[in-house]
Structure 1
Amino acid sequence: MDYKGKALTGLQAATCVFSLIALILTVVNVRDVLLPPSTKYGLVFDAGSTHTALYVYQWPGDKQNGTGIVSQVGTCTVSGPGISSYAEDPAGAGASLRPCLDKAMEIVPAEQQRETPTLLGATAGMRLLREQNSTKAQQVLAEVAKVIGEYPVEFRGARILTGNEEGSLGWITVNYLLETLVKFSFAEKWEHPRDTEVFGALDLGGASTQITFQPGVPIEDENTSVFFRLYGTNYSLYTHSYLCYGQNQALKMLLAALHQASRSLQVSHPCYPEGYQESIPTAELYNSPCVRAPGTPSSAEVLAVTGTGDPVGCHTAIRKLFNFSCGANRTCGFNGIYQPPLRGQFFAFAGFYYTFSFLNLTSHQSLKEVNSTIQTFCKKSWAELEKSFPQAKQFLPTYCSVAIYILTLLLDGYKFTEQTWSSIHFSQQAGSTDMGWPLGFMLNFTTMIPTEAMEDAKVQQPSLWAGAVSFIVLAMVAGLGGILLQCFWDTE
């Protein structure tokens, strides 16, 4: 064989070697890797006593210690009143949800909608309607369930939450948002914070109020005890919900007491600003289980209510709504309900925050400063208030009432003192996420969703892939060079 033939044979042999190496790198040297799971979504309707809101949440399919890392990615306020107001028009309650459901379908990817757990939770407004007329309450729930069921979601039901559920799920939300349950560490992973005290939660709605915290003593009344396991840690909590002691129902009880004390249709209201007047049908005042009517309310009777702007008289009248006495050798909140001694820091949201925010009292003012601000506000006449707050006219007459009610509830009811007042933080959001029971529900709900398995996939290592490409290119160059040489020699 001449040198030309040997050179050609060498090039062909090199081509075979390079091709074989490339084949080994691209086919044999492949390792198993795990692709991250898909993002999950969940929808929660918060059907409160005065309005309904829809929250859209998402979390990764691989959970942390059995619980998903959930974030709020959308919210929608339903037009109109709370669903309990549709007792005479149940279909209207369902129809009111459609615009927000349509908005949620724009957020959740179409391919994941049928796997999106969706729940409607109704709170104290529906608990009161159930007491009044359980049939009408069921009709309202059936209609909202019917409408939600028409959408391509995994509907998990519409139900009335217990007061303890509402309180304890709000507690979960508060502590999740404040990163006392789990946080993202510098090691770029989620972990339970060490030696971190959890916060208590104070919620004030329209028809109920809730207090939830982790006590430093064993809980004596099992009806006020709840247990959670989140992110691999156990939590034993005290919680209680006081039905009828939300701000709207409390104001109804207050006006009814003033009416019955006056024994006439002319009512002087110490919590309303001087010069303010309003007319209220007695049938409207006594349409709640929270308010005991002295007789059968007449639809023709109308109360003429006149404000007197007397904060001292207002405080006296509000205190009469409570029973602050406790049984022997027992600690309690009010109305004889057991409550262990307060412990730790608390976050007060919803009605607590909205009223104190309006009065600019959410910046850690002392109790003395809070009292002074409320007293000054309550002494202003209706003319002064209208001039100072032209944009707040709808709720302006009741801010004094609610502010004094909040002070009475926190100090005399829940037993905060001048020394522990600074432990209360008034806030409605952490970051861009709302405090309240819906997020807590979704967090707790994720413990019931199986952790999605990481998907197996065959993926080449980047460095080996680059090497394989290089060898393939060299093999092609060697092969092409051999062909060109052959052609050149054949022409000689």
Structure 2
Amino acid sequence: MKRSRQEPFTDKIYRFRGIILVISIPLLLISFVLFLMPRVPDGGDAVLSADGDLIGHRKAVPDRRASHGSKSYAVIFDAGSSGSRVHVYCFDENLDLLPIGKELELFKQVKKSLSSFASDPQEAANSLSSLLGEAENVVPPALRHQTPVKVGATAGLRQLEGNTADRILQAVRDFLDEKSSFKFKSDWVTVLDGTQEGAFQWVTINYLLGKLGKKYSNTVGVVDLGGGSVQMAYAISEKDAAKAPKTADGEDSYVKELFLKGTRYYLYVHSYLHYGLLAARAEILKEGEGHGNPCILSGYHEAYNYGGSKYDASAMDSGADFIKCRRAAVKALKVNDSTCTHMKCTFGGVWNGGGGDGQKSLFVASFFFDRAAEAGFIDPKEPVAKVKPSDFKDAAKRACESSLKDAKGTYPNVEPGNLPYICMDLVYQYTLLIDGFGLDPWQEITLVKKLKYGNSLVEAAWPLGSAIEVASSL
């Protein structure tokens, strides 16, 4: 049988050249486009940028961390109006917290704030010395040179006049440059603006609760009551974000767009300067009725010092009065301010964010927790407590009925300097929640000091959000 002649391979290519061209040209074009596209690291999480506005991706396994056992540290100083605190965190390559000894963070504090050294910037810087030593003791020597140290000053420094804050910050920069063994950059010592503080706090609490990466409606809102300012932050819908009022030049916008763990969030955040607990005392004392202040416990006749000014803090002859104190607190908050030009405001003419699912679960931190514990309606040994705003009202009524002498026995955990103001503080906190932020008196809220992460408790404070940002950039 005669065998047929097999067609050479080159002849087959030539005979089907038209079909090959039709197929190969689109494939080449697609390959070229894919080659030019920017790559996003696999498994990376997006994180908050240093200015609190922009978000970038971090590598899933950064090479520099891998060479040191996949560990990195971050040291964050919180220079608040009521004292300075240092937080040290340790992260693995996935930005999960690792233990430092038996805890998931080092937390130490001193009671003197940077702003209390307004006349002596060098002494302000030196006040951080013991905290720096504590931080250096827990970071391995081989990792200190690559461990970032940041200082975030908050409302206390924001309120200093002239160039006092700048002089203090420069003294702190010089101190760290000379004394610290950590990685240091001059712009890592700064005064946080209120929206940064609020955004970092929101990131911290939702990170610890495992909420990041979920829908905005599954996240929790945050109210953080510091000494000089109070922040509210919660995630809102894209539709509500588009309705956000424009702010005046130089003012922070109401909405920050964040991209965290693959999810885009529109974060309503606003900081109210002068309405932290210690600053609010000054605002309320201004509203006194001329013959003593209705928020001061009977038996007290001194001056209140805040922000370089003195305010008369004398009690009325009849003692504190809950109703009159409430009236003074509402007036200080400017609840009925006619400057509100939006659909709905909180106080002082500020847009309230529109509400929604991101605010339905509210975590309330800092001085709210402290005063509730000192007033005795939550257990100070428990890091989280479920309460209602009305609990602050009930506690305030009891406190306002006390004299200074009786209060010493009733409130043994209140520091002597705060005791005359226990009625005022509780009245203000209730007024802030109800009249300021518009909460229902019987709405359940969560007071939080620390949150459980794994088998440990972590301080629920903004420095963790800042540490997540800086650790992700290493």
TM-score range normalised by the length of the shorter chain: 0.7 to 0.9
TM-score after normalising by structure 1: 0.71
Q: Matches of 2:332 and 2:437 in 1, distance apart?
A: 14
The alignment partner of 1:406 has SS state of helix
Corresponding position: 1:413 with 2:436: yes
Listed one character per residue, the Cα deviations across residues 367-391 of structure 1 (whole Å, up to 9, x for unaligned) are: 5554333212321222321233345
Displacement of 1:82 in angstroms is 1.0
Indicate which of 359, 383, 403 corresponds to 1:381: 403
**How is 1:357-396 mapped onto 2 (pairs within 5 angstroms)?**
357-362=373-378, 363-392=385-414, 393-396=416-419
Listed one character per residue, the Cα deviations across residues 215-258 of structure 1 (whole Å, up to 9, x for unaligned) are: 24422135111122222222210000000001111101211231
| Distance 1:339-1:52 versus aligned 2 partners, 3 A rule | same
Indicate which of 224, 235, 238 corresponds to 2:265: 235
Corresponding position: 1:270 with 2:299: no
Q: Matches of 2:196 and 2:75 in 1, distance apart?
A: 18
Question: Hey, what does 1:200 align to over in structure 2?
Answer: 221
Q: Matches of 1:367 and 1:378 in 2, distance apart?
A: 17
| Distance 1:202-1:365 versus aligned 2 partners, 3 A rule | closer
Q: Matches of 2:462 and 2:279 in 1, distance apart?
A: 20
Q: Say if 2:72 and 2:91, in contact at 8 Å, map to a contact too.
A: yes
Taking only the aligned residue pairs, the percentage that are identical comes to 26
The alignment partner of 1:339 has SS state of coil
Q: Gaps spanning 5+ residues in structure 1: where?
A: 1-33, 182-191, 294-301, 450-492
Q: Matches of 1:364 and 1:114 in 2, distance apart?
A: 42
Listed one character per residue, the Cα deviations across residues 53-86 of structure 1 (whole Å, up to 9, x for unaligned) are: 01101111x23xxxx22354212213x4211121
Listed one character per residue, the Cα deviations across residues 149-206 of structure 1 (whole Å, up to 9, x for unaligned) are: 121211132101111000110001111111112xxxxxxxxxx557971010100111
**How is 1:64-463 mapped onto 2 (pairs within 5 angstroms)?**
68-70=95-97, 72-78=104-110, 80-129=111-160, 132-133=161-162, 135-150=163-178, 151-156=180-185, 157-181=188-212, 192=213, 197-216=218-237, 217-219=239-241, 220-221=244-245, 223-258=253-288, 261-262=289-290, 267-274=291-298, 276-280=299-303, 284=305, 287-288=308-309, 304-306=314-316, 308-325=319-336, 327=340, 330-342=343-355, 343-362=359-378, 363-392=385-414, 393-418=416-441, 421-422=443-444, 424-431=445-452, 432-449=457-474
Structure 1 counterpart of 2:176, one-letter code: I
| Distance 1:369-1:92 versus aligned 2 partners, 3 A rule | closer
Listed one character per residue, the Cα deviations across residues 322-356 of structure 1 (whole Å, up to 9, x for unaligned) are: 22246455211111111123332011010111111
| Bigger radius of gyration | 1
| Distance 1:303-1:153 versus aligned 2 partners, 3 A rule | closer
Q: Say if 1:57 and 1:74, in contact at 8 Å, map to a contact too.
A: yes
Listed one character per residue, the Cα deviations across residues 289-331 of structure 1 (whole Å, up to 9, x for unaligned) are: xx9x9xxxxxxxx775446121111101111112224645521
- Once superposed, which parts of structure 1, at least 4 consecutive aligned residues long, lie more than 6 Å away? none
Point out which structure has higher relative CO (alpha carbons under 8 A, 6+ apart): 1
The alignment partner of 1:320 has SS state of helix
Q: Gaps spanning 5+ residues in structure 2: where?
A: 1-65, 99-103, 247-252, 379-384
* More helix, by proportion: 1
| Distance 1:169-1:319 versus aligned 2 partners, 3 A rule | same
| Distance 1:350-1:366 versus aligned 2 partners, 3 A rule | closer
Q: Say if 2:390 and 2:430, in contact at 8 Å, map to a contact too.
A: no
The alignment partner of 1:331 has SS state of coil
Structure 2 counterpart of 1:232, one-letter code: G
Q: Matches of 2:82 and 2:176 in 1, distance apart?
A: 20
The alignment partner of 2:335 has SS state of coil
Question: Hey, what does 2:16 align to over in structure 1?
Answer: none
Structure 2 counterpart of 1:199, one-letter code: V
TM-score after normalising by structure 2: 0.74
Q: How large is the RMSD of aligned CA atoms in angstroms?
A: 2.4
Q: Matches of 2:465 and 2:390 in 1, distance apart?
A: 34
